[in-house]
A and B are shown apart, each in its own frame.
Chain A
Amino acid sequence: MIRILDPTLRATPPRTTARAVRPARLGGATLGLLANGKTHGMAFLERVAEQLAARHGIVEIVRVTKANASAPALAEDAAMLAKRCAAVVTAIGD
C-alpha cells in the first residue's frame, strides 16, 4: 500500500484577518508609514507620503520604523497605527 504524506503546511493555512475597510478618500486623513527597518525604508516612504499628501490633502503623518527588519511589527505599534490612521503604507527600502 502506498501512503502519501504532505511535507508542507498547505493543509493548515495560516491564520488570516479580514482586510481593513478602505477609506473612500484621504482628504483630511492621518496617514501611517510603517518602515520595515531596512536602511532606507523610511526615506522611501517619505517620498511616497509627499506624493500622497500633495494629491490628497493628508493632514497628519504617523511614522513607525520596525526595530528589526527580520521581526514582525510590535503589537502596540500595529494597534496605534490602526487606531490613529485612516490608511497605512508599508514598504521595504534598502
Chain B
Amino acid sequence: MALVERMLAGGPWRADEVLLHEPVRDRSVTAWHAAINAVMAGCRPEYFPVVGTALAAVGDPEFKLHGPATSTGGAALMIVVNGPVREAIGLHAGGNLFGPGARANATIGRALRLVLLNCLDCHPGVLDQSTQGWAGKYSLCFAEHEAASPWEPLSVSRGFRAEQSTVTAFAAESGHNVVVHAASEPERLLLSFADAMAALGSLSAGRSVIVFAPEHARYLGLAGWSRARTQTWLYEHACRPLADLKRAGKVEAQFLVNAETRRWLYGNAAGPTPDAADAHARVLPGDDAISVHRGLGPEDILLCVGGGAAGGHSAFFPSWSRGRSVPFVTKEVPA
C-alpha cells in the first residue's frame, strides 16, 4: 500500500470526508488531503487520528481559524494531547517537550502547518501576515504529563473521561519561560507566573495556558492546592492598575464602545461613558485603584503539566489577539 493510503488507513475517516471547513474562504480539507500533508510532514500512520482530530478542533466554528492563521499576531496552533493515545504513538510529555527529540511532537504540528500552507493558502507575507510569527508555528504539539500532575488530566477537567484520548487546541502566542528555583509555597511560587501574565506586553482580555513543570506541579500538589484554587489565585493576582495600561498605550478609545473590552477594563467599577471615548485613553482620577486582570475569570486560565523531572522551568502562553476570539477547543481522538 502506498504511503498516503497507509496514512489514511491509520484513521477512521473516508478519503472524501471533510475534516476541516474554513468558512471565511470556503475551503474544505478532506482526509485525503490531510493524509498527503501528514506524509509530507513525516507522520507515521498511527499519528493520523491525532492529526485529523487536531484539524477538526482548529476547524471548530468557535475557534475561528481564519484570524489566528492570518493575523499579525503570529499565533501557533498549540495541540495538547491527553489519554492513552499519548503512549500508543510516543507523543512526548517529558523533558524538552516543546523542543526537538520526539517524532510525533515534531510531525503532528508540522502536518497542521502544511495543511494551512497547502490547503488554506496561509503563505507567509501573503495571507499569513504575521509580523514576526514564532518557532511554535513549525509545530507545537505535546502530551500532558498526566503522571506528574497533582490533578485530574486536562481532558477530564474539560469534561472527558480519563480513558478517552483528546486533543485540546489553542492559538498561542510565543511562550514565556517562568523560572522559579527557590519557592515551594504556592503563593510564593505562583507570584512569578502571575507577574509574567500581567506583563504589559502580554496583558489583555485573552486566555492563558500554563504548562507547569513537574517540580512546580508537585509543590502545588503537596500543598493541597486544587486546579480551581490555582486558577483563581492566578486570576486574582495577574493584574495591574488601569493607570499602568493607559500610560503604556494599551487602552484604545474604541475599547469603551465594545461591551467585552469595557467589562475587561472596568469590571464593576464605574468607567467613563462611551461619549467620553476620546478622553478615556488618558489616565483619569481613580485609575490607579482599578485593577485590570488577564482574562475575564479563572476559567480563562488553562492549566496542564509537562516537562522533565529536573528544573523549575514552567511556561506561560498568552492567547492570540488582544480580544477574546479564540477559545480552548477539546475533541476526542477516535480509538
A binding-site residues for B, Cβ under 8 Å: 3, 5-9, 14-15, 39-40, 43, 68-72
| B36 with A5: CB separation less than 8 A | yes
A68 to B24, CA, bound (A): 11
8 closest cross-chain pairs (CB), A and B: A70-B67, A70-B64, A7-B118, A39-B254, A7-B36, A8-B118, A14-B26, A70-B66
Question: Chain B, 15-44, contact with A by CB distance < 8 Å: what is the 0/1 string?
Answer: 000000001111111000100110010000
Extra contacts besides A7-B36, A14-B25, A43-B254 (9): CB < 8 Å = A8-B118, A9-B119, A15-B26, A40-B254, A68-B325, A69-B67, A70-B67, A70-B325, A71-B66
Interface footprint category on B: 20 to 34
Question: Chain B, 232-269, contact with A by CB distance < 8 Å: what is the 0/1 string?
Answer: 00000000000000000000101000000000000000
| A5 with B27: CB separation less than 8 A | no
Closest to A42 in B: B254
A71 to B23, CA, bound (A): 7
Residues of A within 8 A of B126 (CB): none
Does B114 belong to the interface (CB within 8 Å)?
A: yes
9 pairs of residues in contact across A and B, judged by CB atoms under 8 Å: A5-B36, A7-B36, A7-B114, A9-B29, A9-B118, A14-B25, A68-B64, A69-B67, A70-B64
Query: Min CB distance, B85 to chain A, in Å?
Result: 25
Question: Chain B, 71-90, contact with A by CB distance < 8 Å: what is the 0/1 string?
Answer: 00000000000000000000
Query: Min CB distance, A3 to chain B, in Å?
Result: 7
A45 to B267, CA, bound (A): 30
Residues of B within 8 A of A72 (CB): 23-24
B binding-site residues for A, Cβ under 8 Å: 2, 4, 23-29, 33, 36-37, 40, 61, 64-68, 114, 118-119, 252, 254, 325
Closest to B254 in A: A39
Residues of A within 8 A of B27 (CB): 9, 14
Residues of A within 8 A of B25 (CB): 14
Partner of B68, one of A3, A43, A70, A71: A70
Query: Min CB distance, A47 to chain B, in Å?
Result: 15
A6 to B36, CA, bound (A): 8
| A70 with B26: CB separation less than 8 A | no
| B37 with A7: CB separation less than 8 A | yes
Residues of B within 8 A of A39 (CB): 252, 254
A9 to B19, CA, bound (A): 14
Query: Min CB distance, A18 to chain B, in Å?
Result: 15
